[in-house]
Every structure is written in C-alpha cells, then in structure tokens.
Chains A and B, each alone.
Chain A
Amino acid sequence: MADEKKYYLPEGLPTPRAQRTGLDNEFWAASKRHELMVQRCNSCKAFQWGPEFLCHECRSFDMGWQKVSGRGRLYSWVRCWNPVHPALKEACPYIVAVIELPDAGNVRMVGNLLGDPMQNPPFDVAVEAVFEDHPEATLVQWKVAS
C-alpha cells in the first residue's frame, strides 16, 4: 500500500524548515541530497542530537556535521489512532518510530515506519533510512531492513 501513496502521511502537515539561526541548515540540505547528517563536535568528536550551539560533552562551540550510514535499530514505536491534526483525519492508524543510530553514538531520530500500519515489528530490529521528497523539504523515513 505504501507504493500506492505518494507520501506515508497525507499532505497538509507542516513543512519542516531550517532554523533562522542557521543551527540545522546542514541537516535539511543533506536530506535533500538523500544523505543523513548528525551534529558532531569537532573538538571531542561526540555526537549530539538534537542540534545545539555547543557540545554537551566538552562545551566546545566548534560543532560540525558527520554523514552517517542511515542504518539503525527500532528503539520504540507507537501506532497512533487518534487524529491529532486535521490532515491526519483519514490517515489513522500510522506508526511513529524512534530509531537509534549505532554509528552516531546511539543518538535517536524520529520518523514513520513505512509499510503496513498494522505490522508489529520487534523492538531493536534493524531499519534503514528512506528519503521521502516533498516539494520544499525531504523527510527521513524508515523501513525494516531487508
């Protein structure tokens, strides 16, 4: 069914855009290139997510970005049945997943788990990133690894 739909969730949800401060420009630009980037400290090499102006490990303001593999594990997931936004009225149920990235210091990202919304995937199963292009931004979705 995922193949029949243009996007996992219907149009009408807000479009993400980079912060005015420039803090996360790299992430959104990389997503459009179908690359997954995580913030990383240039001083102590600690990964950090969500992005912040300084490193929580060493307090350095010299923060950079690291391209990561897009392979992760399914840390938790929830099947949502209540349409919390008008655009979701006909879209329930859908699955929101929290993905842990072992090659990025186990930081976590949020996306939808593509495929049957009634699937019951095991915790910690291997997943991989799928880039979902929208007109103004690219979302990072996830699917159980084949």
Chain B
Amino acid sequence: MSEYTIKDRVAIIGVGETKYYKRGQAPVPEFRLACEAIMKAADDAGIDVRDIDGISGYADDRNEASRLATALGLKHLGFAGMVWGGGGGGGSGAVGNAAAAVAAGYSKYCVVFRALAQGQFGRFGQAPVTNYVSGSPAYTAPYGLYVPAQWVALRTRRFMHQYGINQEPLAAVALADYYHAQFNPRAVMYGRPLTREEYDKSRWIAEPFHLFDCCMENDGSAALIVTTADRARDAKQKPAYIMAAAQGSNYRHNATIENSADYASSNFKTLAPRLFEMAGITPKDVDCAQMYEHFSGAVMISLVEHGFCKPEEVMEFVTFENITAPEGKLPINTSGGNIAECYMHGLELVNEAVRQVRGDSTCQVPDCKISLVASGPMVSPVSDLIVHSK
C-alpha cells in the first residue's frame, strides 16, 4: 500500500436520512432537516452526535458547518470543508474530503451531509427572471438554454448520434430506478410502479428526455459518518471501508458556452482510471454501482467512462435485465436513486452503496462486496467513490 492513499484507512460507519418528501412537502425548514439527518447517521453509527468533529459538504450547501456545529452542540469542530460548485458532482467528493480529513487526523468522526428543500428555495429546473444577463449566460439564456435538462440533453444527443444509440438505454435506466424503488419504503416513488407504456407516453421535457428520464424535485436531507478504520472495527454497524475516492474534471471540461474540450463526455475520463488505480481493482470487480442520474441518458456515458462497457456496446449492455438487482450483470441505482428514491443530490446513492456492502439494502445484490458511486456526470467537478466490506 502506497503511503499516500486513503485506501482502507477510513470507513463509513453510519448512514441516515430524514423522510424524503416531494418538493414543497417538508413540514420543517431545511436546516432542521440537516440536523435530523446528521443525528440519524450518528445514531446508526452508534456514536454520540457531539463527538462529530468534522463537517463535509458540497454543492454550496446553504446550511453552514459552523451553524450546524453550534446547533448540534459539537464539542469541537476540527474540519469544515466544501466541494466547490458542481451540484451533485460533489457528493462522492465530499466523502473523499471527509476521508482525507480523518486520515490526516483533523477529524475523528466526520459527517458528510446534504440538505435540500427545493420547495423552500429556488428550483434547479426553473430560470431566474432578470432583465439583463452578462458573462457566459449572456450567450445561452437569451436563446432559452437555461437548465441542466437542456444541456445534458445536448451532450447526450451528440453521444447517441456518434454511437447509433436510440431511446432504449434511457428507458432501461428510468424503469430500473422505478423497479428498485418499489422495494424501498424510503423512496418517494415507493408504491408507484412505472410501466414502459407510461414512460413512452410521458411528456417530453427536452428531447430525448421524457418526464421519467429526469430526477425528481424533493425536500429532505441525508448524512453519513466517516471515521478511521481502527475506530470502525468497534463500530455498531459493519463498516463500509473506502477503497478509493476521487474528484476532478477532464481537460477544459468547464469551458463555457458548451465548449468542453470533450463534449459528449460524462467528465469521468481522466478521473475513473485514477479511482480504479487507487482501489487496485478493475470494473469487472464491482458488484453494484450507484450511477448519478440527474437525467437517464447521462448514465450510459458514465458507465462507458468507468469502463463497464464500450460506447459501441451501450445498446446491448444498458438493458433493464442487466442493470436490475438481484440478477443483473451490473445492478445500478438499487434504491431508486435520484429518479425514484429521492433527489438528495446523489447523497442517497452513497448511503445505498454503504447499505449494499453492509448487506442491508432493500434491493440487496447477493454477496455484494464492492459498490461504486459515480456522482454528477457532465458537471464540474465530478467525483467517485468505491466502498467495500472486508
């Protein structure tokens, strides 16, 4: 083991979340949701919440670390970190930052959290109304190009064009998410199965994305606790050891006005190889994957850039049978994910990866040892995480 790696030095020992709500239905403010999720994660880990001494966030979370530490009565705050921008792209990165803080000794128990009540603040899918616009939005907003559904569609369509891909892999991802959610009582779409006919008939948002290709809008919060492997040994829960974590961006991926050097990319091309190198495994070793799906079409590109299949193989690889638990070749988004469990900016995907390697998922992959999380395709930065059981 190289001296400079967090591999197997840290573990996730607890996960928690509030009830997940449809947008606007949370009965309490977002900050209180954050506190509740953190307390639940501490409880799951079997630690006193006041022993948390690190707070790791992403997506420019509104709920500041110092306010949380004060409200929760933390004895000491030794680490407070944020992954810049990137929306859901920072989910695994925030776990990576927590892991680094713990490995470096800044924090003994670091919480990673996301709180999001889209009903109480702005919606990601709606544009702000202003009279003037300058900077890079001046070159897009006047043309009605505003929201992720549109620019993810533009990139997805170029990828589909280049590799002769039709609607089938997109439908497979949406239907797999809904299928998995039917086993998960936490899921907002629990008890709301989706048929292929309903998928096909659902309205277009931005072609090729139907309504059901898009993540939901929700209120809620999720959290998890990271600590050292030594402390994890005595934890209440079976630890999910961190095999590898990575965050970053391709060369000039964030060039503005749709000028990413590699346009039809999920932005994992330079990051995924570093992840697998740190983990010391290959994509074939992954038992199940949680692939961030703000929009279904981005998932197939993420799968390709993580080496699960070649772009020419997308049509045969990304099928409902292959990506559903328990029998699929690579079950993905086994909690229902952003499309059918809850759009908690992908932190629900990290919690699900932990549950898979602990063996207590609601859609358990048999003998799951290794689970991968890919956070936030196409944004910048994106991030990755691999957890495993020993």
Shortest Cβ gap from B205 to chain A (Å): 5
Which B253-267 residues sit within 8 Å CB-CB of chain A? 255-259, 263-264
Which A9-48 residues sit within 8 Å CB-CB of chain B? 9, 13-20, 24
Interface size, B (range) = 35 or more
A110 near B257 with CB under 8 A, answer yes
Residues of A that sit less than 8 Å from B by CB:
9, 13-20, 24, 49-50, 56, 75-82, 84-86, 88, 91, 93-94, 96, 98, 107-112, 123, 137, 139, 141
B138 near A76 with CB under 8 A, answer no
The interface residues of chain A lying within 8 Å CB-to-CB of B143 are 9, 96, 110-112, 139, 141
Shortest Cβ gap from A109 to chain B (Å): 7
Q: What are 26 A-B pairs with beta-carbon distances under 8 A? A: A13-B144, A14-B132, A14-B141, A16-B133, A16-B139, A16-B142, A17-B132, A17-B133, A17-B134, A17-B138, A76-B154, A79-B206, A79-B207, A80-B206, A82-B204, A84-B126, A86-B129, A91-B144, A93-B204, A94-B144, A96-B144, A110-B143, A110-B258, A112-B143, A123-B161, A139-B143
| Complexed CA–CA distance, A84 and B154 (Å) | 16
A96 near B154 with CB under 8 A, answer yes
The interface residues of chain B lying within 8 Å CB-to-CB of A123 are 158, 161
Residues of B that sit less than 8 Å from A by CB:
125-127, 129-147, 149-150, 153-155, 157-158, 161, 203-207, 252, 255-259, 263-264
**Among candidates A81, A108, A139, residue contacting B204 with C-beta atoms closer than 8 Å:** A81
The interface residues of chain B lying within 8 Å CB-to-CB of A49 are 255-257, 259
| Complexed CA–CA distance, A56 and B138 (Å) | 21
- Knowing A14-B131, A16-B133, A110-B139, say if A82 contacts B205 (CB, 8 Å): yes
The interface residues of chain B lying within 8 Å CB-to-CB of A108 are 257-259, 263
The interface residues of chain A lying within 8 Å CB-to-CB of B204 are 79, 81-82, 93
The interface residues of chain A lying within 8 Å CB-to-CB of B144 are 9, 13, 80, 84-85, 88, 91, 94, 96, 112
B135 near A76 with CB under 8 A, answer no
Which 7 A-B residue pairs are closest in the complex by CB-CB distance?
A16-B138, A50-B256, A14-B133, A81-B204, A76-B158, A85-B127, A78-B153
| Complexed CA–CA distance, A82 and B153 (Å) | 13
The interface residues of chain B lying within 8 Å CB-to-CB of A112 are 143-144
| Complexed CA–CA distance, A137 and B133 (Å) | 11
The interface residues of chain A lying within 8 Å CB-to-CB of B154 are 76-78, 96, 98
- Knowing A81-B205, A84-B125, A98-B258, say if A75 contacts B142 (CB, 8 Å): no
A81 near B207 with CB under 8 A, answer yes
The interface residues of chain A lying within 8 Å CB-to-CB of B256 are 49-50
| Complexed CA–CA distance, A56 and B139 (Å) | 20
Shortest Cβ gap from B325 to chain A (Å): 31
Closest to B256 in A: A50
| Complexed CA–CA distance, A19 and B131 (Å) | 15
Closest to A50 in B: B256
Shortest Cβ gap from A36 to chain B (Å): 12
Closest to A142 in B: B143
